[in-house]
Structure 1
Amino acid sequence: MAANSLMDVIGGTPAVWLDRMVAARGLEGRILAKLDYLNPGFSKKDRAARGIIEAAEADGELAPGQTVVELTSGNMGTGLAIVCGLKGYPFVAVMSRGNSVERARMMAALGAEVVLVDQLPGSVPGQVSGGDLAEVDRVAREIVTARGAFRADQFHHAGNTRAHYETTGPEMWADSDRSLTAFVDFAGSGGTYAGTVRALKARSPDLRGYVVEPEGAEALAGRSVLSPDHPIQGGGYAISVLEFLKTCPVDGYLSVSGAAARDAARALAREEGIFGGFSAGANAAAALELLAGPERGGVIGIVICDSGLKYLSTDLWGLD
């Protein structure tokens, strides 16, 4: 049956077992990959975008026709461009120039007004630091004030994590035939991890949840930040406290280097036919590390956060 709106096909994405990758490395256990890059905006953020806007409508935070503004690395902005466009809200995406150009072009094509913010002096294109993100946040706040806009505020709005609690977690549990023993996720806003792990632990209290950060920027794990710049776009901003993780159970922290995330993303494409982005590679690399260590023989859930199509201008898909 055909859907009445693209809104109706957000979520409900398929999931696949990464048995080829696991077997090729001689590991015991299984990894279940939730293919959220198959959402309409090619990322998991479509779920959060719909969740935030619908919650804001229900609570009266968002008035008919009001402008919506949000900072983004590109994925949340794409989801909001779709949701706001379908619902009739003007949308302004504020993004660092350090993010891949494909993301800005996609948001603009979907009707968003895209405001690009220069990186701080010394920053590396393709590597957005916490300082760069703070500058994007400053510009977003100015636009909200100037236009009397609604700030989607993905780092704090409950609609973000609630969307994953109500959809991603239950879907993954069913997809795995109720067999998951662990869940691991690269931390951006923390909304996916917090909502999903709460839903999974409600069904299996012994399930363990792990948060992934970039090597050298493990602020959430309480370590010194030695290298805030890294290529894993969409997270790892060396922020020591994320609102959604304050009261959320975390059983362990892992770090993944940019090179390891890149290698795992390429392996996902070659070995499993999954064309994901940097953070998908980080999740896969972390899950493989867990199967080689504390989760040996277990069943680990991960999310393929976004599409590799959003990184064609980066070195993720080099021809070397």
Structure 2
Amino acid sequence: MTAVSAHTAGTYDSVADAIGHTPLVRLNRVTDDIRATVYVKLEYLNPGGSVKDRAALGMLLAAEQSGELGPGGTVVEATSGNTGLGLAAIAATRGYRTIVVVPDRVSAEKKAVLRAHGAEVWVTPGLRPVGHPEHLRSVALRLVEEIPGAWFAGQYDNPANPAAHRATTGPEVWAQTGGRITHFVAGVGTGGTITGAGEFLKEASGGSVRVIGADPETSVYGGGDGRIWYVEAVGHFVHPETVEDEWPKSYHTEVVDGIERIPDVEAIRVLHRLAREEGLLLGGSSGTAIAAALRTARTLGPDDVVVVIAPDSGRAYLSKYYSDEWLGELGFPLTTVITDRTVAEALDGVDLGQQPAVVPSGASVGTARALVGTAVALPIVLERKGSGPVVVAEILGSVSAAALVDADDSDPVSAHLGAPLPTAGTTESVAGALARLGTQTGPVVIVHEGRAVALVDAARLADSVVVEQE
């Protein structure tokens, strides 16, 4: 019996062989009055569910060829999830053990899928500086040292990462557009996709294709101060205690012609529109990338063709960007319209334009006492230079005057850290916020678009309901 031809029948010998050749889909409704053509490359249609399948396969093959990874070996990676998913899926078909180290803010869905592939998931705190023993990379490298036959994928510095996109993603985009592409847009995380595909497209076009990076507003790639954002798997966070910030070797900055800095709220709004108007349920970093592509396209003419990478599916983020509970608690736009009174409406008259008083994490007890004053308690936030906005994800805990009574003025306030204060988002209903707060008394952090904008007493929210009923 003659073997079936993979080329003619679309059959493959393994999952690895099915990676790539994802479609381009034109955007038609969210483009509004944009004259340029905008295509989205649906990378979530890779077998492992993301663009990272390409890099995962490239790195694994290179490690096997070099002898770094041998039969029965263990694959170890530090990742926000998607690279781990690709590695775990491919490694499973090759008989490797997989260990994936992820930060605690990774979605529950990603961790569940990793475990479904048989990967061991190590969760470590996200707010750790480079070099800290609990930092992602530190944990992963320690595991590699302890486990015989272990190999560290190291996507951030592994040349096989951008090489995979130079060999596959770039050529696919060029062929699919018939060489008509004028602008290529991709998020900048490890830098592999934008570097590899960008290098190919520039070479193929004789330098005419412009490469645009999509970056969260506070990411340092685009000039931000490194504060945390809420869209996963893109950008570059910098802990204020990091001594020397090193950018990934997979990211070649000379390839990028410009960067669009996208706030979380813009990315999330785009995600919701794509699901409702284009039938595309996409992940958070796709919202960042497509928002950047739409910004770029608005400056172009009818002969221009923009291609943007959609790294993964929204199915991995149903508990986040498509959950009104998660969105509401952080003060982001909801997926549905609510008729109940919102927290913002209940606090009419409260100044929501300025962040509340806080205590920086590097303060002494003496300084903290002065800052707390007569307040019941204040949040302790990750200390940063300047007076930028307080991102709720960077609130480490709280401190009260009562907790400092017996403390020495020279003690670090971080040694007297209390539990974080409860939060209420401006876009959620007052009833929903009160139900979550339960019998909570005392200060509540009011959150708008992920940032702390006020500190009010829980009774203020409860009183607003009584007033409305009267």
Q: TM-score, normalised by structure 1?
A: 0.90
Change (3 A) 1:296 1:285: farther
- CA deviation string 1:250-280 (max 9, x = no partner): 1111100101111111111112111110111
Cα distance change of structure 1 residues 274 and 112 upon mapping to structure 2, 3 Å threshold: same
Match of 2:277 among 265, 271, 279: 271
| 1:214 counterpart residue number | 216
Pairs within 5 Å for 1:93-108: 93-108=100-115
CA apart distance, 1:307: 0.7
Measured against aligned partners, the alpha-carbon deviations of 1:210-253 in whole angstroms (never above 9, x if no partner) come to: 11211122x223x250x621111012123662312346421111
Structure 1 stretch 183-192 or stretch 233-242: which is displaced more? 233-242
Counterpart for residue 79 of structure 1: 86
Residue in structure 1 matched with residue 185 of structure 2 by the alignment: 184
Provide TM-score, normalisation by structure 2: 0.62
Aligned to 2:139: 139
CA distance in 2, matches of 1:176, 1:232: 29
- 3-state SS of paired residue (1:92): strand
| AA aligned opposite 2:17 | D
CA distance in structure 1 between the aligned counterparts of 2:126 and 2:60, rounded to whole angstroms: 29
Counterpart for residue 113 of structure 1: 120
SS at match of 2:234: coil
Distance 1:254 1:167, change over 3 A: same
Partner of 1:126: none
Q: 1:16 aligned to 2:25?
A: yes
Secondary structure at the residue paired with 1:283? helix
Greater percentage in helix: 1
**Paired residue for 2:199?**
198
- CA distance change for structure 1 residues 133 and 236 in 2, over 3 Å: closer, same or farther? farther
Deviation at 1:288, TM superposition (A): 0.6
CA RMSD of aligned residues (A): 2.0
Distance (Å, rounded) in 2 between the aligned partners of 1:5 and 1:117: 33
Equivalent-residue separation in structure 2 for 1:166 and 1:79 (angstroms): 18
Deviation at 1:133, TM superposition (A): 11
SS at match of 2:72: coil
Which gives a bigger RCO, structure 1 or 2 (Cα 8 Å, sep 6+)? 1
Q: Give the match for residue 231 of structure 1.
A: 230
| SS at structure 1 position matched to 2:194 | helix
For 1:15 and 1:132, how far apart are their aligned partners in 2? Answer: 41
Larger radius of gyration: 2
The letter for the 1-side match of 2:251 is L
Larger displacement relative to structure 2 (230-239 or 154-163): 230-239
Unaligned runs of 5+ in 1: 122-128
In structure 2, the residue corresponding to 1:245 is in which secondary structure? coil
Find runs of 4+ consecutive structure 1 residues off by over 6 angstroms.
Answer: 129-134
What is the CA–CA distance in structure 1 between the aligned matches of 2:188 and 2:130, rounded to whole Å? 13
What is the rounded CA distance, in whole Å, between the counterparts of 2:141 and 2:168 in structure 1?
Answer: 30
CA distance in 1, matches of 2:323, 2:305: 29
For 1:77, the aligned partner's letter is: G
The amino acid across from 2:138 in the alignment is R
CA distance in 2, matches of 1:316, 1:102: 13
SS at match of 1:26: coil
Corresponding residue of 2:450:
none
How many pairs align?
A: 307
CA 285–247 in structure 1, closer or farther in 2 if over 3 Å, else same: closer
- Per-residue CA deviations over 1:187-227 (Å, capped at 9, x if unaligned) read 1100000001011111112111111211122x223x250x6
- Cα shift at 1:158: 1.4
Contact 2:54 2:164 in 1 (8 A): yes
Q: CA deviation at 1:315?
A: 3.5
In the other structure, the counterpart of 1:290 is 296
Instruction: State percent identity of aligned pairs.
Output: 36
2:160 is the alignment partner of 1:164: no
